[in-house]
Chains A and B, each alone.
Chain A
């Protein structure tokens, strides 16, 4: 295990951060606008999100680089700005952390499917390699591959990320099947744990999904299937539309109530995904301190 991970895990559980996309929307990011571009156009807002998480108690914060791979950026005619957007993203988080939190840089899925031939393994490898190098160049402490629905794509991203020499967290989404315990492509927690472990992930995790309660049993099953530390970042449940506005009904307290269960189920890193904000992190920190 890397020194960095060992240091962090010496005081586990480690509270990470909450959502970025929904936080940027609260600061004016328009529907359909690319969040990652804000690293260049609205750096103050991006830095404010990062600072808010550090102030709330996050010991690890991520970066606003989730969609900054060549394939996604191409949809916004920004494929030639991969390096810039990613490097700035890491720098903004690093400055905001000011040494008080580690910066784990985010890589999200390509948005293309291998199985339908929309993309190829070679194209994905190239895109993730380019992004991972830019994140490493920006000074990331580690890389986080998140919100993956397809294990094949996750493994390609993992290999590309590992080539930087940084520790790598690899996370999948479990939101399919009656019990919401399968990936979109049907993989079980056991299969995911086995394959990501074999592929060399330093930390294995789950994020997004259908809320925090359902991830307790997924976490337990991952724990039984791998010796790697576990990283859990559930969303604040599925959003609802009220009077034309999007709302997440899970409150910070509802969310935090499940935090001890996740730790008992084996989670070492704990934070939130879509719909969570600094108050969720504050509530999780408070709950874990008292348990």
Chain B
């Protein structure tokens, strides 16, 4: 039994170079990439989330860990795809129409990528139509919307209505977040989930696709 704890630790400490090197070493031992991801790397990101929740980690640590995770996944993903195993899921993410703030959205995108998701980043000021297109054309299973302004939060509702009108609402899970957004608001507009922070968004996305 090989010891993959150093890979876990490299992700936890946000050391991308070490994570990449340890991933190469692990692959040389013939380990199943999926085992590596599910049993060593995803748990490391879960620990990152836990540390964030209890104030041991803040945004810089999240970003470093997500970067380390991504460095490792870049090596593993082609192998997973080649063996017919797809990424955890595909997420179309964007800041809603009228809102140009992208820091929160970018953080969630980085964490989702670190969590093994394929992320289609639609950018900022994303119209409901573009979210609908992403579902129809990119086959996103999750739509993740961000808003920093109270004045643009209603665009989340408009987008959900557009997904319904296009007949694709049932195909996707809709997740929302951003400083002024609350669970209550998410419930009111009929979203499937709300997270107040970036690590929580990954947990939500995994739950939404029944990966946990």
Contacts and interface: CB of A to CB of B under 8 A. Distances in A.
A111 interface: yes
Given A32-B99, A113-B106, A238-B180, A186 B58 contact: yes
Interface stretch (A81-89, A156-164, A176-184, A199-207): A176-184
Interface residues of B, number: 31
Interface in B53-98: 54-55, 57-61, 63, 97-98
Given A185-B60, A186-B59, A241 B101 contact: no
B150 interface: yes
Contacts of B102: 111, 118
Nearest to A186: B58
A165 interface: no
A240 interface: yes
B145 interface: no
Interface stretch (B25-33, B39-47, B131-139, B151-159): B151-159
A90 B134 CA distance: 43
Contacts of A182: 55, 58
B181 to A, nearest CB: 9
A24 B190 CA distance: 30
A72 B57 CA distance: 29
Interface in A67-116: 72, 75-76, 111-113, 115-116
Contacts of A177: 55, 58
Categorize the interface residue count of chain A.
Answer: 20 to 34
Main secondary structure of the interface of B (DSSP, over half): loop
Given A184-B58, A185-B60, A32 B100 contact: yes
Nearest to A181: B55
A176 B58 contact: yes
A176 B198 CA distance: 12
A279 to B, nearest CB: 19
Contact of A185 (B55, B59, B149, B152): B59
A217 interface: no
Given A25-B151, A111-B103, A116-B106, A241 B59 contact: no
A185 B58 contact: yes
A32 B151 contact: yes
Contact of B151 (A31, A115, A238): A31
Contacts of B124: 75
B185 interface: yes
26 contacts: A31-B99, A31-B151, A31-B152, A32-B151, A75-B100, A75-B124, A76-B100, A111-B103, A115-B60, A115-B63, A116-B63, A116-B106, A116-B110, A118-B106, A175-B179, A176-B58, A178-B54, A184-B59, A185-B58, A186-B59, A238-B179, A238-B180, A239-B150, A240-B182, A246-B153, A246-B180
Q: Which 4 A-B pairs have the closest CB atoms?
A: A186-B58, A32-B98, A31-B151, A246-B150
Given A75-B100, A111-B100, 5 more contacts: A25-B151, A31-B98, A72-B100, A185-B59, A186-B58
